[in-house]
């Protein structure tokens, strides 16, 4: 894998996969909604592999969301993850995977949401799609404006702390979206089994871009 999507200082491409699915028995004693316990588990994976970044999670069915009312506001329980997560240290740099411009941004500050979020638009007219970057630091939103352009490899933002990213271990949520359905600075990153077929089409595998 040669894509320097998320870097720590001068350390590039030190990635390993991580499994946060409900099928992972190692998580039975980990309180995932506690960001510090979650971070301890991530660090055990990184220490075992000698890597700096753990990633994964597209269409992963997770217990991580069980304790949040944000994902169970109705009988339609949402627990299937629609992006790839990159778990690492606070303030790690997030690099643009491809050229784009700012569509919208927002601090989604409800506990369990994204916290500071940036959405980029790629392409023009009807031939466009969007990428979403969630759980950033608040300083990532400083100086932003709609239409601001970013080149591939340029620093877009930084990973936020649990206090900024509304109670998660530091990580980036990266998601590809074909149609934002009128939303700005936000878009569902988790869906229910009932709506999975729609979201699989509207939020294709981010690896189609990252090539990891």
Phi first, then psi: give them for residue 89, nearest 5 degrees: -90, 155
Those residues whose C-beta lies under 8 Å from the C-beta of residue 204, and which sit 6 or more positions away, are 176, 178
How far apart (Å, rounded) are the C-alpha atoms in residues 25 and 63? 12
pLDDT of residue 102: 98
R_g of the chain computed on alpha carbons: 16
pLDDT of residue 126: 76
Residues composing the chain: 212
| Model confidence pLDDT, tens digit, residues 100-131 | 999 999 999 987 789 999 999 998 777 899 99
Q: 159 forms bridges with which residues in the sheet?
A: 136
Report the C-alpha dihedral over residues 196, 200, 203, 205, rounded to 10 degrees.
130
How many Cα atoms sit within 13 Å of 2 on the Cβ side? 0
Q: Is residue 73 part of a domain?
A: yes
pTM score: 0.91
Q: Is residue 1 part of a domain?
A: no
pLDDT of residue 14: 83
Q: Is residue 20 part of a domain?
A: yes
- Distance spanning both ends of the chain, measured CA to CA: 5
Assign 188 to helix, strand or coil.
Answer: coil
Low-confidence ranges of the chain (pLDDT < 50): 1-10
Q: Is residue 40 part of a domain?
A: yes
Q: Is residue 75 part of a domain?
A: yes
Domain range holding 159?
A: 6-210
| 104: CATH | 2.70.70.10
Domain total for the chain?
1
pLDDT of residue 202: 98
Question: In the sheet where 155-158 sits, what is the strand order?
Answer: 6-7, 93-95, 155-158
Assign 204 to helix, strand or coil.
Answer: coil
Q: Is residue 203 part of a domain?
A: yes
pLDDT of residue 136: 96
- The helix (H) or strand (E) run that includes residue 41 is helix 35-49
How far apart (Å, rounded) are the C-alpha atoms in residues 211 and 183? 27
């Amino acid at each position: 894998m040669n894509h320097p999507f998320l870097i720590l200082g001068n350390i590039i491409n030190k990635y390993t996969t991580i499994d946060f699915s409900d099928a992972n028995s190692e998580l039975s004693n980990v309180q995932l909604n506690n960001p510090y316990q979650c971070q301890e588990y991530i660090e055990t994976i990184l220490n075992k592999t000698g890597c700096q970044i753990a990633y994964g999670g597209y269409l992963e069915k997770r217990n991580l969301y069980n304790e949040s009312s944000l994902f169970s506001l109705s009988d339609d329980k949402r627990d299937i993850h629609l992006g790839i997560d990159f778990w690492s240290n606070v303030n790690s740099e997030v690099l643009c995977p491809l050229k784009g411009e700012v569509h919208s941004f927002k601090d989604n500050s409800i506990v369990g949401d994204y916290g500071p979020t940036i959405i980029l638009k790629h392409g023009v007219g009807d031939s466009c799609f969007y990428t979403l970057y969630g759980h950033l630091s608040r300083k990532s939103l400083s100086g932003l404006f709609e239409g601001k352009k970013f080149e591939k490899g340029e620093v877009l933002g930084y990973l936020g702390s649990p206090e900024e990213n509304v109670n998660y271990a530091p990580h980036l949520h990266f998601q590809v979206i074909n149609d934002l359905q009128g939303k700005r600075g936000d878009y569902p990153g988790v869906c229910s089994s009932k709506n999975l077929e729609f979201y699989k089409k509207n939020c294709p595998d981010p690896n189609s871009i990252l090539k990891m």
